[in-house]
Every structure is written in C-alpha cells, then in structure tokens.
Structure 1
Amino acid sequence: MTGTATGRGVRIAVIDSGVNPDHAHIEASRLAAGAGIRGDGSVELGAEATLDRLGHGTAVMAAIQEKAPGATCIPIRVFHDSLRTTGLGLIAALDWAIAQRVDVINLSLGSTTPAHAPAFGAAIERANRAATIVVAPREVDGAPCYPGAIDGVIGVGIDWDCPRAAFRVAEDQRHFLASGYPRPIPGVPPRRNLYGISFATAQLSGFAACALENLPSAGPARITALRTALYANAR
C-alpha cells in the first residue's frame, strides 16, 4: 500500500490454527483475546483455546502483522490436531468473528464442496450486513473454493512472481493476486518453509487492513470502497 498506513484501529479475525504469542515473528501486544471453535461449532475461550500447536496459524498471523503492524489481530482456532475442520465449524467461526465486530476476517482456507456454498453464502451476507469484510482463497487447484468464490468476499489467488511487498489485480478484475510465500526464516529456503494460498490470502488481508484505516468504518458500501482502494494500490 502507498502512504504510511499500518492498519491502525482495524480489527482482524484470523481463522486458522491459533497463534503462538511467543514466536519471534508475532507482536503479542497487538493480539486480542480469541476463541477456539470445534468441529461441532462449540466455542472455547481462554489463552489455551487459541494456542497454536501446528504452526500454520502463527505463520499466517505473522504475514498479516508484517503488512499491517498497527492492526489488532484476534486468533480463532479451528484447526486443532490437524489442518482439517468441518463446514459447521467454519460457519461458527465466521459468526463468532462477526459478533466481535471485527473489520476483516482472514480465512486462509475454505471448502471446495459445492454443497457448502449456500451456508457460506448466508454467512457472507451476515458479514456484509455488519460491514465485516471476508478475505479468502478464490479457488484451490482450479476448483472454486467457498466462501472465497462467493460475491461479497475479497477473493485471492497466487502469483508466484509477485513481490511480497505488493499485490496485483487478476485478469478477470474480480479478485486479487499476492505472493504465496510467508515471512522468510533466515537460513531456510522459501520452498522448505510453509507456502501456498494461505499466505497470499494473509498478505491481502494485511493490505486490506491498511486500506481500511482511511475508509468509513460502517455501511453497506464499505466493501465497494475497499475494492476501489485496492485497485488503486495494486501494482
């Protein structure tokens, strides 16, 4: 993004495997209390409920904080023993995030099962009514990914040639492209680190938070204003 925006005042819910607040790439002072959501939709609160034991959520959070260091991030843990959850769990996580009145929901995951689309569509409508913006993968391995493929979501794809400090507009002008690499770890080659659509999504969430810093905080036109700002800053 251009200018000096850092995402100050913007609240980002990060639905993933939680966060390790002691990791060197995490600024713990910019974290707020989150929740753990089980596959049956049940909610667990407290620091233990959001503690990352898989590493994925921490890497996603680090990519977001790198781009939007002034934002407040709220971990929502849906991955517990593996990087798998249920559609019910994801819907419950989205609704919990919306209830916290967050500005952005980073969902570095989704479902390629078309039968899940209606339930995700209803959740996105609830988010839009609350002026909460969902950022999610538009497709996975060429298949539409829900909710990222639904209108009303900021959909994201990968551009491996895109610098990590930038993002681009896709040819269809309907979604955005970003690098699939996370924050680098000294001495570790990029392809030996975590990488993929999760991190393109996280980086776009960070860029979106910076854009939202100077946009109206409410109203149905918020997502349109954000898209306009992102188009203007893509390169």
Structure 2
Amino acid sequence: MARPFPASTGRGVRVAVVDSGVHPDHPHIDASRIDAGVTILADGTIEAGADATLDRLGHGTAVTAAIQEKAPDATCLPVRVFRDGLKTSAAALVTAIRWAVAQEAEIVNLSLGSINATHRDIFARVADEAVAAGILIVAAREANDLPCYPGALPQVLGVAPDWECPRERYRIETIDAQRTAIASGYPRAIPGVPLQRNLYGISFAVAQMSGFAALACERVGRVPSSDRAAAIHEALAQEAALFSQT
C-alpha cells in the first residue's frame, strides 16, 4: 500500500516526544536518531542527565518506535513526564511544550492531555507560543468522550483513533469545526502476538500522526516560523485528499 509523502523520511525534522522516555537499546528504536532530552516533574521542575529519559514503563519507547517507523530520519527528543505510571500534571505538560519550543522542535507529540476545562486557557496560551515558534502540537482530541486539552484546541492537530484505518494511512475530518486527524490506534505488529495483546490506543494514533506530520514538515521545507504549523496542517490535508482517492 502506498504511503503518504513517499519521497519524505522526516530528515531535518525535530520531534519532541512527551511520554515516559525511551529505551535506546530496544530493537525498534534507532538510537542514532535520539537526541538529548529531559525529565519534567509534576511541579514543572526540569531534570537532565545521562539517565533522565530512560524509559522504565515501555510506553514512550513504543510511541517513539511508531514515530520512527513513519519518519525514520526525524530526530526524536524524549521528554519524560511519566515515571511510575501513566499520569502527570498540567504544569509538567506546559513545561514540556515550552522546553520543546526552546529546543527548536517542529513537532510535539503529546498523546495525553487534561479533560479539566479549567486548564484550557493555560494550554491555549502555550499552544499559541508553540505556533508562533513554528511548532505543531499533535495531541489526543478526546479522553473518555470529553474534550482533552490541548488536543481539542484549534491551534493543535487533534487526533482520534479508527481501529479499521490501515496503519499506513490517515484521513482528515472536520469535527466540531476543528480539523481532526484520524489514524490507527495500533502500533507495529509483534510476530505471533495478537494486536489486542500488544499496547494500543489513542497514544499510537497520535504517534503515527506525529510521524506523518514530520514527513509533511520536510515537504513544507523552509517557511517563516509563524507560518510553519499552518503549512504542515495544510500539507497533511492535501496529502490525505490525494491518497483517499486511490
């Protein structure tokens, strides 16, 4: 099956992966494409160091592998916000996005968020900062059928899963006046393991869209930072329209 952006590999694109870190020795990970990252604590404190982003949960490694599968030449920057479980704070996520801005990433992969509506405004402010810096945030649009922030914001590429969508494809739909990406929630298959026995869910739909967004970013090329996020959005929509006809 033909894939989107067949001439692109994500070369030159930096993707901040906000998750549980990465295990660089995993066979699905290309460690040469992993840059230095950080841990961000629940209060927003940033920690660096040799083991700051070592994944002890496995989730971030699987998410990073999904991004690298789609965009093998992109550089991933691990931002560990999960330590003992898949739970963090709004303060940590805001700090993670601002750290990605400071590191001049082009894509922020955020497969989580907050359903607390009181967090909407702070996420809107930091999403505006990201857009102004030329960063596209790719994030889960909903959680438990509730809007999830920042993914439900118009400045962000919100993602929803489709269990029937081929992993090599995605589509763009307008939901509640927001352009939304629809992608498979399954990671790459493990031989001999049924799909439902492996990790799966919205995290992998988001990761695959971050990979596709890295390909779109390479396609877009050098544009003013203030226009880059919108240009990536448009490239994703145009490519989806092309291969939806095949």
Query: The TM-score by the shorter chain falls in which range?
Result: over 0.9
Pick aligned residue for 1:205 from 210, 216, 232: 210
Q: Note the C-alpha offset of 1:171.
A: 4.7
The aligned residue for residue 51 of structure 2 is: 48
Q: Note the C-alpha offset of 1:3.
A: 2.6
Give matches, 1:83-122, under 5 Å. 83-122=86-125
Describe the SS at the equivalent of 1:50. Answer: coil
Provide the TM-score with structure 1 as the length reference.
Answer: 0.97
Q: How far apart are the structure 1 equivalents of 2:223 and 2:61?
A: 27
Q: How far apart are the structure 2 equivalents of 1:218 and 1:19?
A: 31
Describe the SS at the equivalent of 1:232. Answer: helix
Q: Which string of whole-angstrom CA distances, capped at 9 and with x for unpartnered residues, describes residues 27-68 of structure 1?
A: 000000000000011111123110000000000000000000
Give unpaired runs (5+ residues) of structure 2: none
Q: Note the C-alpha offset of 1:22.
A: 0.3
The aligned residue for residue 42 of structure 2 is: 39
Aligned residue pair count: 235
Q: Note the C-alpha offset of 1:170.
A: 2.1
Q: Does 1:77 align with 2:83?
A: no
RMSD value, Cα: 1.1
Q: How far apart are the structure 1 equivalents of 2:98 and 2:8?
A: 28
Give matches, 1:116-135, under 5 Å. 116-135=119-138
Q: Which string of whole-angstrom CA distances, capped at 9 and with x for unpartnered residues, describes residues 88-122 of structure 1?
A: 11111111111101000000110111011111111
Query: Moved runs in structure 1, 4+ residues, more than 6 A?
Result: none
User: Are the structure 2 counterparts of residues 9 and 111 from structure 1 closer, same or farther at C-alpha, using a change threshold of 3 Å?
Assistant: same
Q: Does 1:57 align with 2:60?
A: yes
Q: How far apart are the structure 1 equivalents of 2:171 and 2:61?
A: 25
Pick aligned residue for 1:219 from 222, 225, 246: 225
User: Are the structure 2 counterparts of residues 43 and 149 from structure 1 closer, same or farther at C-alpha, using a change threshold of 3 Å?
Assistant: same
Q: Does 1:181 align with 2:225?
A: no
Q: Note the C-alpha offset of 1:217.
A: 4.4
Pick aligned residue for 1:192 from 172, 197, 203: 197
Describe the SS at the equivalent of 1:9. Answer: coil
Give the fraction of aligned pairs with identical amino acids, expressed as a percent. Answer: 55
User: Are the structure 2 counterparts of residues 90 and 25 from structure 1 closer, same or farther at C-alpha, using a change threshold of 3 Å?
Assistant: same
Q: Which amino acid aligns with 2:193?
A: V
Q: Does 1:143 align with 2:143?
A: no
The aligned residue for residue 232 of structure 1 is: 238
Q: Is the 8 A contact 2:5 2:216 kept in 1?
A: no
Give unpaired runs (5+ residues) of structure 1: none
Q: Is the 8 A contact 2:5 2:215 kept in 1?
A: no
Q: Which amino acid aligns with 1:103?
A: E
Describe the SS at the equivalent of 1:146. Answer: coil
Instruction: Tell me whether 42-51 or 57-66 shows the greater mean CA deviation.
Output: 42-51
User: Are the structure 2 counterparts of residues 131 and 171 from structure 1 closer, same or farther at C-alpha, using a change threshold of 3 Å?
Assistant: closer
Q: Which amino acid aligns with 2:190?
A: I
Q: How far apart are the structure 2 equivalents of 1:219 and 1:33?
A: 23
